[in-house]
Amino acid sequence: MMSTIISFLILIGVLVFIHEFGHFIVAKWIGVKVEKFSLGFGPKIVGFKRRNDGTEYLISLLPLGGYVKLKGENPGEELKNDPSEFTSRKVGDRFKIVVAGPVMNIILAFLLFPLVFMIGVQVPQYLKDAPIIGWIEEGSPAAKAGFQVGDLIKSIDGATIKNWEELQNTILTHPEKDLRVSFLRDGAMRKSVLTPITTKDFGAGYVGWECSFDPVIGGLTPQYPAEKAGLKPGDRILSIAKLPIFHWNQVPQLIKNNKEKEIEFEIQRNGKKLFFLIKPEIQEISGEKRPFIGIMPVIKTINEQYGFLESLKKGAQRTCEMGWTTLKMLKDLITFNLSVKALGGPIMIAKLSGQAAQSGLSYFLSFMAFLSLSLGIINLFPIPVLDGGLILFLLFELIKGKPIGVKKMEIAQQVGLAILIFLMVTVTYNDVMRVLPGNIKDFFPWK
């Protein structure tokens, strides 16, 4: 828990600092006075003021954001036509200051992704394999759409799918959307429409298929039933409760179905068949009681690491791909082709940042790069109170030859604030629904 909080604060702190530093440094360069530079909102925790520039540097109580207060930027402030005042500067100067924040977030992504490729990251080997279906969950969207084990996915919505990584990324980013899938079965091309459902934990798409995944034990949790019973890494599970096992995904499902009952495991070890009776241990996770025996699969990985020039190339390519994915998801949200259930807020970001930090530096930096890129792009959207909204006001001023009236600007900002509040309530609700045990209706006595 503590590591998750620390990694989340580091992540948010870096992204906010980079964003606000963009506004700060360009304002200083142009000659606009910066009155405050704050990491966080709300009451001041610590701060100091530099005499040579008159800027107060703060760390404030609420860490989910930050701000740079420029002299003369607020509507209604008394102006003296002083060059150090933000509103007294020409449109071009103000545009540079406003756009600098999002641009710095995008630049950070372009710097971090190449670093990730230079550090190297352990990638599951199957992600590079051809997208051949090795298992399908009963009753899942893939099963309902008629897919079978052995089908080779060739394209989705006309885009060629070369490996499992591309296939997973497409499914994850398109929950609740109809996808036209072309696949090869018995040498013949076929087509089907597949609609991913939204997962409870992360709001991503899920269809219920997997690659081939041998039921071989890769690790054991100390002091759990499997270790106590005598299972060992490298054991191949042949059957559970006399039901044949051909894919790892069958293992947790059959353990769950048997609940607290003692289960017979048939194991192959060094060419010999062995039988074990194992009684699962019940644990409560997010309010749900689940049976565990303490086994983990074998996951073969490959280390992807590249030289400086190749890392720059791949980093730039990854940044563009992630940027395009972000824009596409935003377009799908606006056109109602993507459910708002897919959105996540601070709780989900904290959870993912903790998982990324535990997985290693390259994973954490990759997650930070993606969030920084998304933050930069979203901030450029023409919504009042975002940087994109201020850019829109400047564009109107440039066209009309005079600033927008204070009253109109205040109304526009109130509308923009209402939109942001609605989004924050939505993502917070989604986060809470993902972590609350059971059904939310169970918490209301008048149901």
Q: What is the 3-class SS of 131-153, one letter each residue?
A: CECCEECCCCHHHHCCCCCCCEE
Write the single-letter amino acid at 287: G
Question: Scanning the structure block, which residue is given the tokens 């809470």?
Answer: 432
Length of the chain: 447
Count CB atoms within 10 A of the CB of residue 275.
Answer: 10
Question: What residues form DSSP beta bridges with 281?
Answer: 292
CA distance 444 to 436: 13
- First-to-last alpha carbon distance for the chain, in angstroms, is 33
- Rounded to whole angstroms, what are the CA distances from 361 to 104, 112, 117, 309, 368? 22, 11, 11, 21, 10
Whether the CB-CB separation of 319 and 110 falls below 8 Å is answered with yes
The number of angstroms, rounded, from the C-alpha of 375 to the middle of its chain's C-alpha atoms is 12
Write the single-letter amino acid at 365: L
Question: What residues form DSSP beta bridges with 237?
Answer: 267
CA distance 229 to 277: 7
Residue among 20, 73, 85, 266 flagged as catalytic: 20
Q: Write out the DSSP string of 300-360.
A: -EEEE---HHHHHHHHHHHHHHHHHHHHHHHHHHHTTSS-GGG---HHHHHHHHHHHHHH-
Count CB atoms within 10 A of the CB of residue 8.
Answer: 21
Question: What residues form DSSP beta bridges with 303?
Answer: 122
CA distance 350 to 342: 16
CA distance 346 to 424: 9
3-class SS at 98?
A: helix
Whether the CB-CB separation of 250 and 319 falls below 8 Å is answered with no
Active site residue 20: yes
Q: Which residues form the catalytic set? A: 20
